[in-house]
Amino acid sequence: MSTIYSIAPDIRDYAKPISMYNINDILQKYQDKAGALSWTNYFAAILETKTTRTSLKQTRNGVETVSSNKQTMKNILFIIIDDLRPQLGAYFDPEHPDYFSQLKIYTPNLDKLASQSIVFKHTYVQYSLCGSSRTSLLTGRRPDVTRVFGNHWYWRDVGGNFTTLPQYFKDNGYLTIGLGKVFHPRASSNNDDPPPWTEPYHQVPYTDKYFLSNGSIGGWNSVSQKDVEELPLADMMSTVTAKTTLSNISKIAKTGEQPFFMALGYNKPHLHFICPEEYFYLYPLEDKDICMANESWQKPNIRPQVWIDGLEMSDEKRFLPPDVLRKLRRAYFACISYMDHLVGEVLQHLNELGLADNMIVSFMADHEYHLGENEHWGKITTFEFANRVPLIIRIPGITDSGMTSSSIVESLDVFPTLVEAAGLDPVPNCPRNSFDISLCVQGTSLMPLIIEPNNNSKDVAISQIVDGRGMYYAIRKRVFRFVDYAYLKAIDAADGKRITSLEWCANMKCAKLFDHRNDILEQINVVNETSYNVNALLVDSYLIYFGVA
Ligand SMILES: [Ca+2]
């Protein structure tokens, strides 16, 4: 396998024909904006303007000096992946090999990062759809506050003018750079949310060259080296841009006087499952572990209260033939290894530039993805399979030896965590009503867990999805997943989007409870078994939801 992997393409070569990502074009862009400034002069000019910001930092931190700033102001690389299950080598669980099948995914670069990081084994998103999930994690607020329940709503319009993670770093003097898919593009972020970025945003170049000819949303494809030489895949271009940008800011970054925050978002393994053909060789189609045992997606008795119509791939009968299932799953896994290679390119470049020792690296996904499990192909469910994501955070000097946490945490915790890890002033916790407060978070810093991984102080995650008639809420607490439903009772007539009143489905008749001690695939509803104290679980969880605990 390692031999096959080593012939993976060198994306630097593939990028050469792409003029829009040519460094000369980037230089030209800055020259246009700042008169005749070259990159070097551009950043020199930035340095000169930082005097005021440095003074502010000194005031904020009391006795902090400029020289201590150089040591404490760590740079941030925030990597977010689209539709990635925590099915990485570092997440392979020998105690539960049947959760993802026994197939071990080939992710050597992320495994290496994990060995120098804290790996959060149980991280849950607040909404299993791109726009809603990314909005929550980047604002640090729950969907009921952002009011983003789809991919076409912008929180600054429907929720409030909330400060985001990169914006907070910008406000604290960081150079902030965004590449690829970070916020969900277009309407749900007003085109990558302009306020957080000090530099022009690098959007994902769109091409449908490799999409399927029948126009289907779902499917897979492999591309040859010749194809990629003519037109690189989007994530390859984002990688080249990331490396080029890092090269250009490395000199100024290493002085310690200009920290930077880079957000880098990759599209794969999102549909279509398209990547270079070399990565398909890692997963022979005949490998029995490509698929799980059939029973994992043949349990219709738990429908429909735990999922709504978020299917992305199915035939008219919503069931895919076994040979198609196998090819699709294989292609998804190939795309994970492809993404791993690209992330590895960037991490290696950090090492080569001498930036890694002062660089916090955060790696996560926007939500998980059903590959047939729970009889579902897609996202937007309240199952574990749509809501659990990888979260790997490397903090130099703290996580170097590698550590894991099994505590249950949420993606909206990442905002306050990175703020504390970087040594910035903590972001205040949101009060009960925070629609008019620009700077606060509902998440909790995970730094106490990073210092002491066995500290399970939170251990609750809440996710939700809207279905037009109401809202599903899912609570993951310790070994339990609880799902209940609330009917929509009122909506703000002003914009037709602000939900103002919900009424719980009465007497637990919509509720589901899964016990992961003997049901990790969530196929047995035990909510009516008297041995479970559902009310205690709910009370604890509501306290977390409202920020009381
Ligand atoms: Ca997504």
What is the CA(264)–ligand 1 centre distance, in A?
14
What is the CA(133)–ligand 1 centre distance, in A?
8
Burial group, residue 462, by CB count within 10 angstroms (0-12, 13-18, 19+): buried
The partner residues of 477 in beta bridges, in order of sequence, read: 460, 480
Give the pLDDT confidence score for residue 495 in this predicted structure: 59
Residue 260 near residue 177 (C-beta atoms within 8 A) = yes
Cα(342)–Cα(345) distance, integer angstroms: 5
First to last CA, the chain: 48
Q: For 424-435, how does the pLDDT look when each residue is reduced to its tens digit (9 = 90+)?
A: 999 999 988 899
Paired sense of beta strands 118-124 and 403-410, if any: parallel
CA distances from 538 to 74, 124, 144 (A): 39, 17, 18
The partner residues of 77 in beta bridges, in order of sequence, read: 262, 361
Q: At what angle do helices 322-353 and 108-115 cross, to 10 degrees?
A: 50
Give the pLDDT confidence score for residue 497 in this predicted structure: 61
What is the CA(100)–ligand 1 centre distance, in A?
19
Domains in the chain: ranges and CATH: 2-458 (3.40.720.10)
Residue 157 token pair: 């319009």
Cα(284)–Cα(334) distance, integer angstroms: 10
Question: E strand or H helix at 263, and its extent?
Answer: strand 260-266
Burial group, residue 41, by CB count within 10 angstroms (0-12, 13-18, 19+): middle
Cα(285)–Cα(294) distance, integer angstroms: 17
What is the CA(254)–ligand 1 centre distance, in A?
34
User: Which long-range contacts link 285-289 to residues 24+ away (Cβ below 8 Å)?
Assistant: 285/326, 285/327, 285/330, 287/103, 289/101, 289/102, 289/103
DSSP string, 33-64: HTTT--HHHHHHHHHHHTHHHHHHHHHHTTT-
What is the CA(15)–ligand 1 centre distance, in A?
25
Q: How many Cβ atoms from other residues are within 10 Å of residue 284's Cβ?
A: 9
What is the CA(371)–ligand 1 centre distance, in A?
14
b/e string for 236-270 if b means 16 or more Cβ within 10 A? bbbbbbbbbbbebbbebbbebbbbbbbbbbbbbbb
| Residue that is written with structure tokens 């008219």 in the block | 316
What is the CA(184)–ligand 1 centre distance, in A?
8
What is the CA(83)–ligand 1 centre distance, in A?
4
Which residues make Cβ contacts (< 8 Å) with residue 237, sequence separation at least 6?
15, 18, 21, 204, 205
What is the CA(82)–ligand 1 centre distance, in A?
4
CA angle at 220 for the pair 218 and 226, rounded to the nearest 5°: 135
What is the CA(420)–ligand 1 centre distance, in A?
27
Give the pLDDT confidence score for residue 387 in this predicted structure: 97
Query: From start to end of 384-540, where are the E strands?
Result: 388-394, 403-410, 460-466, 470-477, 480-491, 499-504, 512-515
Cα(525)–Cα(484) distance, integer angstroms: 12
Give the pLDDT confidence score for residue 31 in this predicted structure: 39
20: helix, coil or strand? Answer: helix
Burial group, residue 10, by CB count within 10 angstroms (0-12, 13-18, 19+): exposed
Q: Which one-letter amino acid corresponds to residue 144?
A: D
Paired sense of beta strands 388-394 and 359-365, if any: antiparallel
What is the CA(368)–ligand 1 centre distance, in A?
8
Give the pLDDT confidence score for residue 57 in this predicted structure: 34
Residues marked as catalytic: 130, 184
Give the pLDDT confidence score for residue 293 in this predicted structure: 59
What is the CA(19)–ligand 1 centre distance, in A?
28
What is the CA(305)–ligand 1 centre distance, in A?
22
> Per-residue pLDDT for the chain (549 aa), expressed as one digit of tens each?
222 222 222 222 222 222 222 233 333 433 334 333 333 333 333 223 222 223 323 333 333 333 334 445 899 999 999 999 999 999 988 777 777 878 889 999 999 999 999 999 999 999 999 999 999 999 999 998 999 988 988 999 989 999 999 999 999 999 999 999 999 988 889 989 999 999 889 987 766 677 655 545 567 888 888 888 888 999 999 999 999 999 999 998 988 889 999 999 999 999 888 899 999 999 999 998 898 755 445 444 444 444 444 567 665 455 667 777 888 899 999 999 999 999 999 999 999 999 999 999 999 999 999 888 887 788 899 999 999 999 999 999 999 999 999 999 999 999 999 999 999 999 999 988 899 999 999 999 999 999 887 776 778 899 999 887 888 999 998 889 999 888 888 776 555 666 777 888 877 788 899 999 988 888 899 988 888 888 777 766 766 676 654
